[in-house]
Every structure is written in C-alpha cells, then in structure tokens.
Amino acid sequence: MKRLLVANRGEIAVRVFATARRLGLGTVAVYSDADADALHVRQADAAVRIGPPAARESYLDGKAILAAAKEADADAIHPGYGFLSENAAFAEAVIAAGLTWVGPPPAAIRAMGLKDAAKALMLEAGVPVTPGYLGEDQSAKTLASEAQRIGYPVLIKAVAGGGGKGMRRVDAAADFAQALESARREAKAAFGDDRVLLETYVTRPRHIEVQVFGDAHGNVVHLFERDCSLQRRHQKVIEEAPAPGMDAATRAAVTGAAVKAAKAVGYVGAGTVEFIADASEGLRPDRIWFMEMNTRLQVEHPVTEMVTGLDLVEWQLRVAAGEPLPRAQDEIALCGHAVEARLYAESVAGGRFLPSTGRLDHFRLPDAVRCDAGVEQGGEITPFYDPMIAKLIAHAGSREAALAELAEACDAVEVWPVKTNAGFLARCLEAPDFIAGDMDTGFIERNLRTLTRPAEPSAAALSAACEAAMVAAGEATQSSPWQALAGFRLNAAPQRAVRLFREGRPVLAEPSHGAPDRSVLITEERVIVVFESGEAMVFADHPPNAEGAEGGGGDGQVRAPMPGKLTAVNVKAGQRVAKGQTLATLEAMKMEYALAAPFDGKVADIVAKAGDQVVEGAVLIALEPE
C-alpha cells in the first residue's frame, strides 16, 4: 500500500489523511463541484473531481471513484463513514479492480447491512436481540398488526443504513400509518430501500456500543464501550467512553457479546456493535440487547482513541495490509475518560435545529481540546451534505473533569455568520442530571426548552459590544440620540452609555475602560458580534427597520426555512387545514423536516410541487384564514 484514496469528504477525509501521512502513504482526495475548494482537497497530495454537488452523482458514484483511483494511481481505498462505506457491492468492485479495500469483507458488510437479517444471524449466534418484527411481509396491514402485537410504543426502523434515518417512534395505533409512510420515504431517499422492521420501544433506553477489531488471521478484540445516549432525532450529539455506571459484570457481558457477533460473520477491520440497554434500573447484564452492527469506522471513534491511546485508522490500514492486530486483548487498557461533542451548522432556536448554510467568514475552534474539523475560515457550508462541521473531544482523568473541559471548549467556539449548536452542546454538558449520569436517549427531548434557550449577554459582553460600537462610530457621533446618552448617576463620576439593539430590543451598555475579555467582530454592515457561551450575540447601533421585520407565519405564507428539496406536499388548493397540521415535508442535509400550518384556515395556493429544489425563504404554500 503506497497511495491511499479516501472515498469521502470533510472531517473524516482530513482525519484519515493525517494518519496516512504519518505512515508515509501518498494521499488522494475526491471532490464534487461543491467541494472544489474544500479543506480535504487542499490537504491531499492529489485530488480528482468525481461529479456535481448531489451525493448520488458524486460521492455515491462508485464507478467515478474507481476511475479517480486509476487516474491518481492509488492502490488502496478508505471509505470513511457514510456514503459508500457500508456498500458491499462497492467493496467488491474495489477488490475486483485489484485495489486494497480498507474495510471489512464484503460478505460481512452484506451480513450486517440489513438490520433484520443481522438480527436473525445474531439470534443464531446466541447474541441477545431486541424483541420485535423481522418478517419479510412489508404490507402496511401486516406491519400495523405486528405493531399491535408488540405493543406501543414501537420503533419503526429502516432495515438498511443508519444515522437515525428512516426511524420513527410511534406511541399509538392511530399514528402508525403516517409514521410508516414518512419512515419509508426517508429510507428510500437515503438508502434506496424502503423496507422496515419493528422493535419494542424501551422507555428508558441507553445507547451502548462496543468498538471491535478483527484481522485476517482470525483474531478479534474489543476496545471497550462507548455511551452514545445523548441523541436528537435518533442522531448522536455527545458520545463518551467508558459508559457511565458500567460495572465489570455488565462490561464483560456486552463486550463478550460484541466479540461473539464479530466472529459470527468472520469480521476483519474496524466495526461497532450497537446495543440498547434498559436503564430504568441502571446498567445490567440481562437488560442489554443487540441492535445492529456498523461495518465501518464510527464518527465517535476519537473517544476510544483517547481512552486507549491507539490510532484506529492506523489499525485499519495495518489490518488491510494483511498484518495481525497490533495488540492482544490483554494489552488493551482503559485510561481516564473522554467525551466528544458534534459541532453542527444549525440553528437551535425554538428547538427546531434547522441547518445553517453559507460562508464561514469567522471560524475559530478552541486549542485546549482535540478538534477534528473538515472546514476552515473562508470555507463554505453547503446544503448538499451532513451539517456536522467539526468534532470537539476532551480527555481527562475523570468524567467530571472531561465534561467540564469540553463544556468550556464549546463555550469558546466562534463561528459567523453560519449558526452552530455550540451553546446548546455546552448546556447539555453542564446539565446536572447529565453530569450525574442520569440520562437516556430521551434526555434532550425532555429538557429541550432549557437546553435550547439562548444565553443572555453578560455584563462583560455588553461592555465589549459598547466599546465596539464606539469604535465603529469613530467617536464622531456622540451627539446622535441613538449613540450618546449622558451618564447620570448619583454619587458617581459621569459615564458614557451607548444604546444598542439586540434582537430588535434596545439595551444600554457601558464601556469597561479596560481590555475587553470577549472576542468581538464588527462586520462591514456595522453589525457587532460578541462571542460568548458558544453563541454569536448580535448587536446593532441603530434601531431595526420595522418594514423589514419577518412575519411569524401569521401572513399565511409557508416558506422554506432552509434550502432543500420538497419531498412531499400533503394538501391541495381549497383544502381546509388545522393549526399544526403537516402541509409538506422538506429534505435538507439528509434529514426530513415537516412544515406545519400556522393557523386554522384554507389552502389558497400551492406554489411549489414535490421534487422542487427550493431556496431559503421561498414561499411554498399560501393559506388564508376562514
């Protein structure tokens, strides 16, 4: 192996390149037109264009990637995660082309690629499996009947893929049909396969997964467990290793089951065996069940690297080259605690978590923790791919110390004008119940209002904004009624106060008369941005224009909250609708979003149709009150 092509983009491509360079390998990037100037492209020794922005025409085009490998004289392909990483046909094509495939055998990918078949295989191997329905009959009638047999709540899951796509929790029979249709549609779009399975829904679930590694010599080891219970819409947000509250007996049971699962499919390379635990009485050996196996490297692999001191990408490359595993099981030990937070380009306002796109005019990540990023200042966040822009990972001697260190790092994130979830992540890490280890996969939903409430600016932030406003004004507008307010204080020296506007509301701020202790940005439009608590707090030195204020949907214009593809329109012109009723669904950054009616009324006009690619703010449906 001399020259490695990474069939992926962004953060994982940058991560794999780092290890490849350290091992003396040449590196090759592939890119779509949307990523022509991306960080991973510039960091590689060579780069080859593979198609237009849409993933299906670029990163999911196996033939284009193989052609790129030939053009760049690469002799090995690493798939990263997502895209083609768990595509058995692509793995076979790589091997057939005489290239080294840095991944598990195609047979193992195929065996574990469909969740229903994987569970059946695990049952044969003696691995405990979550109760549910794995049958081939996919009729809506049969699925509804099986859901009734299992008992609500039930979980609908796509048999292919992962990442929470094609997954829906259903609490009542009346909601099943709509949830099934939505899950199937999302699964079809993401994986080209709309088949589903059903599982009993564990009411206090913990998501526990085990990192496994196998080689071509028959050796399989585990690298301990991770806890990925903090999730939103079935997608992981914060991961850690080891799992809080994991005792020796439960660890032995779950890691033993993971190794058994890997051996059952003749596994080679890096993989993750995922389990669901009933945490209603803490973690117990008899209350953890197999869910699925991810036959690739995981997004959260850095926490395992931190607590074991191992480079998992290096292990992948060595195993792919035919070497035995670098260490035996008794040579792998846990050290300390590691926590990872996924930094997404999204707006958490109101708990909606809408993707945010645009140019990264200002982008700074903290130096105190490990930061795996796929973008840099001046780069572009496009609507075509996953919104994750970086991972922040802290490692310390104790869980409490690691959480505190990572929370501080999230507070220090500075991004503008693209919005991020950094402040939300910090609040999750600082939540008392989470610190106490009292969490499950519903933790974020239960605490959504608190976790998504925007932070108010501190006195220091207001002072920094005040000083920036004075600089922006050049001290030449002190006579302006908007800028200068005589400091009137009893028994105190006069102060200069400045009237600023935040979110349309006036605030008074005073300078600190010292060096500002907050990072401040002044844009060309004289917008003042103060970075604090992981958020970009925006101030203006002039009152808002009332005519430019955005409506809250009260005008009946249902607009696209972000750029994306309209996947369904559920109403017709003239139809009566109720407030909160789903009118249409929009797909952006690989997720589906429901657009609801803002009031009771009637559909006056359908402006866009299913299949349309729409821009942010575009009017999709017009309603009128009755």
Q: Just list the catalytic residues.
A: 296
**Beta strands, E only, 579-618:** 582-588, 591-596, 601-606, 613-614
Q: Where are the alpha helices (DSSP H) in 508-612?
A: none
8 Å CB contact between 133 and 143: yes
How distant, in Å, are the alpha carbons of 12, 151, 332, 563 from that of 78?
10, 42, 25, 31
How distant, in Å, are the alpha carbons of 245, 355, 384, 434, 552 from that of 122?
26, 37, 36, 32, 50
Q: Using CA atoms, how far apart are residues 332 and 386, in angstroms rounded to an integer?
A: 33
CB-side neighbour CA atoms (13 Å) of 358: 16
How distant, in Å, are the alpha carbons of 96, 558, 583, 594, 623 from that of 573?
54, 14, 11, 18, 9
Q: Using CA atoms, how far apart are residues 626 and 597, in angstroms rounded to an integer?
A: 13
> In sequence order, what are the residues at sequence separation of 6 or more whose Cβ sits closer than 8 angstroms to the Cβ of residue 167?
155, 156, 157, 158, 183, 234
Identify the helix (H) or strand (E) that includes residue 188.
helix 176-191
> In sequence order, what are the residues at sequence separation of 6 or more whose Cβ sits closer than 8 angstroms to the Cβ of residue 479?
none
8 Å CB contact between 422 and 364: no
The letter for the amino acid at 502 is: R
The letter for the amino acid at 86 is: E
> In sequence order, what are the residues at sequence separation of 6 or more whose Cβ sits closer than 8 angstroms to the Cβ of residue 456?
none
* Of 269, 342, 327, 294, the residue nearest 112 (C-alpha): 294
Task: Compute the chain's Rg from CA coordinates.
Answer: 26
Q: Using CA atoms, how far apart are residues 12 and 390, in angstroms rounded to an integer?
A: 10
8 Å CB contact between 317 and 1: yes
- The burial of 85, by beta-carbon neighbours within 10 Å (0-12 exposed, 13-18 middle, 19 or more buried), is given as buried
Which 8-state DSSP code applies to residue 129?
A: B
> In sequence order, what are the residues at sequence separation of 6 or more whose Cβ sits closer than 8 angstroms to the Cβ of residue 353?
232, 233, 344, 346, 347, 421
Q: Using CA atoms, how far apart are residues 88 and 516, in angstroms rounded to an integer?
A: 56
8 Å CB contact between 169 and 125: no
* Of 104, 40, 107, 54, the residue nearest 83 (C-alpha): 54
